[in-house]
Amino acid sequence: MKKSKLFHLKNEMLFANAISNLIGVIFVSILSTATVNLLPDDIAAISDRINAIFSPTAFTFVFLVTLIYERPIRRFLNCKYRRSEMPQEFQIEACRRVLNEPFVLIAIDFIMWLIAAFLFSAIAWALGADSIAIQSSFFRSLNTGLITVTVAFFWLEHLLQKKLAPHFFPEGGLYTIPKTLRIRIRTRLVALLFACNLLPFFSILHMFHRLSSSQNDPALVLNQLRAVIFINSLVFMGVSIFLTMLVSRNLTIPFKEIIITLRGVRNGRFDKKVQVTSNDEIGYTGDVINEMTAGLKERERMQKLLTWQWRFNKIFFQKII
């Protein structure tokens, strides 16, 4: 392992989570460009000044918490880079943390944006904004958090399978690690349904409520609503296509490898093993197939040994007779 690869492996999750938060902020900013700002100028200026302090503080906090959580993971990778031994209990802890990391990071992200939603809506309320402006401040941060969590869920899960799991579990056995949360196929499909259907629907409803509550000319509101629906459709179509391709890749590649292994077993070849990189039904199936092929290979070895022993005994007794 090169030092550059070690650096990438140690920081894959950290950078991906930070970029997911940035994507959430950019998406909500794009979706908000076609709508009016319901906060008065003085309140909006105060909120911007508070946000200039809150955002760096929140992101720094998430960064530090992630580094603290990843300490056993980084220690494991350092030991692997130096090719030094690591106690068994520390290996299990590192494996447990790397499997749970996607869930931990999206939970931290969502809590951060939920705090932001309550904070900025409370600021708007304290400064005398109306109820529509308060709701707008709340749902803007909440939408950012939902988009961030959705992108982070699929991206972190992809990095876990393709980048980290082969180094932490070269022989498979992800399901044997205790106290881990499993990213099941049903969980992926529910998250994909939420990302591709429910999230765009709620976003459009929020923008519609925000526009209909403004005091602008109805013709202007209609034009803004048309622009909002168009921008929402383009943004979420792109996100849906990307996430669908990502989920499809994460499902089809393991199945293809399982099929190749089973074809080899059918043809009498037991040396091929399934590379297990997921902690779900597919990963469990891959581990079972690997155990089966190992058993078949051992049985074949014993069969050959018994055949040679029988031939040897036959020749030996023939010579005696």
Q: How far apart are CA 170 and CA 164, in angstroms?
A: 10
* pLDDT recorded at residue 39: 57
**Which two structure tokens, joined as six digits, stand for 243?**
């996430």
Per-residue model confidence as pLDDT tens digits over 263-306: 888 887 877 888 888 888 888 888 888 888 888 777 777 777 77
Q: pLDDT for 161-185, tens place per residue?
A: 888 888 888 888 888 888 888 777 8
Give, for all 321 residues of the chain, the pLDDT tens digit: 678 888 888 899 999 999 988 888 887 777 666 555 555 666 677 777 887 888 888 888 989 999 999 999 999 998 888 888 878 888 889 999 999 999 999 999 999 999 988 988 888 888 877 777 777 778 888 888 888 888 888 888 888 888 888 888 888 888 888 888 877 788 888 888 887 777 777 777 777 766 666 656 667 667 777 777 777 777 778 877 888 887 888 788 788 888 888 888 888 787 788 888 888 888 888 888 888 888 877 777 777 777 777 776 666 666 665
d(CA 81, CA 75): 10
**Where along the chain do its domains lie?**
3-263
- Taking the mean position of all CA atoms in its chain, how far away is CA 212? 36
